[in-house]
Structure 1
Amino acid sequence: MASGQLLCFARLFLLVPQLSSDAPDTILPDIQEAYERHQDLQLVCGAPLSARPQPGLTNRVFRLEAEKGTFFLRLPRLEAAGNIDRKAEARNLMLAAATGIAVPPVFCDAEAGILVTRAVEVTGSPADLSEQPSYSLARALGEALGQLHGSGVTFEGLLDPDSVLQAQWQGLRDAVRCREEMTGLEIVLQPIGAGTAGGTDRVLVPSHGDPSPGNCLMSSDQLWLIDWEFSGMSDPAWDLAYAVLEHEMSADEEQVFLKAYAATGAAVPEADRLGVMKAKCDAVSALWALEQLAAGRDEDVFLPFARQRRGRALRQLARLS
């Protein structure tokens, strides 16, 4: 996405049920087609030997065993093709890799949305991270985000939570079945004064946009952030609030996380500002789930999710009032 252009696709990166990865190891037709269309894959990875699908919503991701090693191969989903600026993602990924917190790509075709990185050996699966009350994870994530936010690089794209919320709200105006579930969230749409997440004194920093458990890989000596599709310049409170919520950090873990962030030299947002952003993050999640309901998707999955996130957002605002 061109610099300064609004990134309004937060609805795509929330923690919802992922796709199954139980398919057998095999060379799938999609991978064979990718090799045929992009002959450099043969040069970089060597001939494919086996591939196992990994969980994912906006991409098809495979753990690829090939002649030259083990890789992660990402192929885009057609239904998400128009929602992601792959050129901006590729540029931001290279900048993040230069800071040492992103896995460097060994092959990247921004036009096709194909990305290959070497596999990182992790200490636990991404799905396990959110279930382990780990101070080491909180500390490592705080250090990584502080390093990114303080790097001084300029990412392409703009992630503005207020604009995302306004766009979601407008899109749901005529969804009759969602009106009751939206009650109370209108307060989150408004800037809540200078010095808060919606104020006019914001400093924008290069942001990952989606530091959820599935995008954190802990190796033996560091944490890597993956999937930079929704990266851009944003209020630093977005990454911090989103990380605390999606990793379900305890109060003690949050303090470890923020202290590690501050230790990098990055400025921790005021408590009220961070609290407001937590409410905005949950409101984005709730409205995203309501968008799925309006589109006719499974009510048993998305309605409880929407209600849980809406309730948490409103409780957070009540604590701040």
Structure 2
Amino acid sequence: MSSDAVTTDAPTVPTLTDVLLDEIAVFRGRPRSVEELSGGLTNRNYKVTTDEGSYVVRVSSEETGALAINRDHEYRNSVIAAAAGVGAPVIAHLPDRHVMVVGFIDGHTFADHDFAVPGTIERVAASCRALHAAPPFVNDFNMFEIQRRYLGVVQENGYRLPDGYLDLEPHVATLRRALAVRDEGTVPCNNDLLAANFIDDGSKIWLIDYEYSGNNDPCFELGNIWSECHLDLDQLEALVTAYYGRLLRNKLARAQLQGLMSKYGWTLWASIQQATSPIDFDFWSWGMEKYESAVAIFRSARFDELLDEVQRAD
């Protein structure tokens, strides 16, 4: 990524105004109520209710290139995910205003502990399979490439790097070679399924927020869920088993290694956000939690075992 695409100034996410709402056909001339929703580390989300229903308006910053977010890709992939029946319906898109409107899903937003509820992991796997069976997304997402891009941003701008971060690069190269042995291609993935991006309406579990979406190894999706939702290894095994219909040891190892790579890569996302985001959030501590978890696995005997297991026929 070229340095002229990066800014060290904190990007400003616009607020939602009546003028902006009047530019959107579904709201124009209608009485409405507006409620800002919590969450959203790169945008602001608003619930807008009219006499015809409720919607979520996502207002984004222009300055997201350093984080590898492409808003056109997000929109087009959101349409594909909606057609697959697991993403919220897309109502409107105003690219010049950095706005997307999706249907509001009335349901329970997950927290990490929801994965302990019996049957939940199996339902999550079913939603992931539905998304992964959709037509291809318009772009690819590869954490090895994203991590290199993030690293360039961090080094060019003098942002913080955790102690010993670069010392792990040889391990990453070894990990990438091991994953290539049984590479089975890519499928449409959300790539950012933290707990808050699952919504249970009582009938199915929806997958929301396609900022980082792209075609990817399905085991990255599973491993990233393991990392982001703080699942234990038994829960990851249950997720992999439910997804594939039976326990495949090489897929379990693959999900763990992809989850490890997600931890290593998202650490740099946190460094960039710590340096540039106006949001009052401790991105550095968030990133260091991931980094320390990654270091523990990279430096353990288990890492070599996983490298062996992922290359074997199950």
Report the TM-score range of the alignment, normalised by the length of the smaller protein.
0.7 to 0.9
Structure 2, unmatched stretches of 5+, are 2-13, 305-314
Residue 252 of structure 2 is matched in structure 1 by 271
Alpha-carbon distance in 1 for matches of 2:181, 2:278: 35
- Alignment equivalent of 2:220, drawn from 229, 233, 238: 238
Residue 51 of structure 2 is matched in structure 1 by 67
For 1:128-151, what per-residue CA distance to the aligned partner results, in whole angstroms no more than 9, with x for missing partners?
A: x21332243322211111222233
Displacement, 1:213?
1.1
Alpha-carbon distance in 1 for matches of 2:277, 2:41: 18
TM-score, normalised with respect to structure 2: 0.78
**1:168 to 2:154 alignment:** no
Alpha-carbon distance in 1 for matches of 2:159, 2:31: 53
Residue 37 of structure 2 is matched in structure 1 by 53
TM-score, normalised with respect to structure 1: 0.77
Residue 215 of structure 1 is matched in structure 2 by 197
Residue 100 of structure 1 is matched in structure 2 by 85
Specify the code of the residue in structure 1 equivalent to 2:121. Answer: A
Residue 265 of structure 2 is matched in structure 1 by 284
> Is 2:44–2:58's contact at 8 Å kept on the other side of the alignment?
yes
**1:84 to 2:69 alignment:** yes
Specify the code of the residue in structure 2 equivalent to 1:208. Answer: N
Alpha-carbon distance in 1 for matches of 2:23, 2:205: 33
Alpha-carbon distance in 2 for matches of 1:179, 1:253: 29
Displacement, 1:37?
2.9
Alpha-carbon distance in 2 for matches of 1:188, 1:98: 39
Specify the code of the residue in structure 2 equivalent to 1:312. Answer: S
Alignment of 1:110-129 (within 5 A): 110-122=95-107, 124-126=108-110, 129=111
- How many residue pairs match? The answer is 287
Percent identity reads: 19
Residue 155 of structure 1 is matched in structure 2 by 137
Displacement, 1:280?
0.6
Specify the code of the residue in structure 1 equivalent to 2:255. Answer: L
Displacement, 1:111?
4.4
Alpha-carbon distance in 1 for matches of 2:166, 2:278: 21
Displacement, 1:184?
3.6
Alpha-carbon distance in 2 for matches of 1:238, 1:89: 18
For 1:75-116, what per-residue CA distance to the aligned partner results, in whole angstroms no more than 9, with x for missing partners?
A: 222433785333322222222112111111222334433222
Alpha-carbon distance in 1 for matches of 2:175, 2:160: 28
Instruction: Please identify, of 82-91 and 270-279, the stretch whose mean Cα deviation from structure 2 is larger.
Output: 82-91
